[in-house]
Amino acid sequence: MVSFAAIIGAYMLGSLSFAVLISRAFGLPDPRSHGSGNPGATNMLRTGRKAAAALTLAGDLAKGWVAVSLAAWMRTRYGLPDSVVYAAAVAALLGHIYPLFFGFKGGKGVATALGVLLALSPMLGAICAGIWLAVFTVRRISSLSALAAAAAAPIAGFYVLESSTAAVALFLLAALIFWRHRANISRLLSGTEGGFVKPK
């Protein structure tokens, strides 16, 4: 029962769509109704309100970190298996992508996944964030950077966490991110994916 509560709690936390909540607080249009239609920090940036985008990024990252950290605390407090923490990690990302409170129409999960990784291991989170930054610096394409970091996560996690269970959970996280980016992947393959212009 406690294990179930940890996993469901992680999903509920993940279901908090900060892009939608912050848009309402700032009096901005629903992020699902403009731009890419994705309720995430990148689409929030298209509104021209950098503060709203930054708060969205921080909130999405924080909920992933809190969900996994709470599950880890419950594991220690109640003697739960490690698999509960990894299940909570997947549940938090599922909540973001398919949020209970917002018609199961959520974001692509990159910031929330980073929060999850940082909670599992700061080193793992730093590795994946570094890969994202390196790819973005060269190509200036957010989706490509996210896909590269997601692809690296299961491999890095296997060595950093020294757990095959962790690697399986991270593979599921990566698969979810790839699935959510399937339209971006099509555009990347066709050479039509937009990027950020390098500052002069």
Statement: the pTM of the whole predicted model exceeds 0.85 = yes
Q: What is the pLDDT of residue 187?
A: 95
Q: Would 151 be classed as within a structural domain?
A: yes
Q: What is the pLDDT of residues 38-74, one digit of tens each?
A: 787 877 877 767 888 899 999 999 999 999 999 999 9
Residue segments in the chain with a per-residue pLDDT below the cut of 70 = 35, 48, 197-200
Q: What is the pLDDT of residue 200?
A: 47
State the residue range of the domain holding 135. Answer: 2-190
Q: Would 199 be classed as within a structural domain?
A: no
Amino acid identity for residue 132 in this structure: W
- ∠ CA 140-42-14, nearest 5°, is 125
Q: Would 200 be classed as within a structural domain?
A: no
Write a three-state SS string for the chain.
CHHHHHHHHHHHHHCCCHHHHHHHHHCCCCHHHCCCCCCCHHHHHCCCCHHHHHHHHHHHHHHHHHHHHHHHHHHHHHCCCHHHHHHHHHHHHHHHHCCHHHCCCCCCCHHHHHHHHHHHCHHHHHHHHHHHHHHHHHHCCHHHHHHHHHHHHHHHHHHHHCCHHHHHHHHHHHHHHHHHCHHHHHHHHHCCCCCCCCCC
How far apart are alpha carbons 103 and 48 in whole angstroms?
A: 26
Q: Would 65 be classed as within a structural domain?
A: yes
Residues 6+ apart with CB under 8 A from 25: none
Q: Would 37 be classed as within a structural domain?
A: yes
- 148: tokens are 């590269």
Q: Would 160 be classed as within a structural domain?
A: yes
Q: Would 154 be classed as within a structural domain?
A: yes
Q: Would 95 be classed as within a structural domain?
A: yes
Count the domains in the chain: 1
Q: What is the pLDDT of residue 39?
A: 81
How far apart are alpha carbons 44 and 107 in whole angstroms?
A: 11
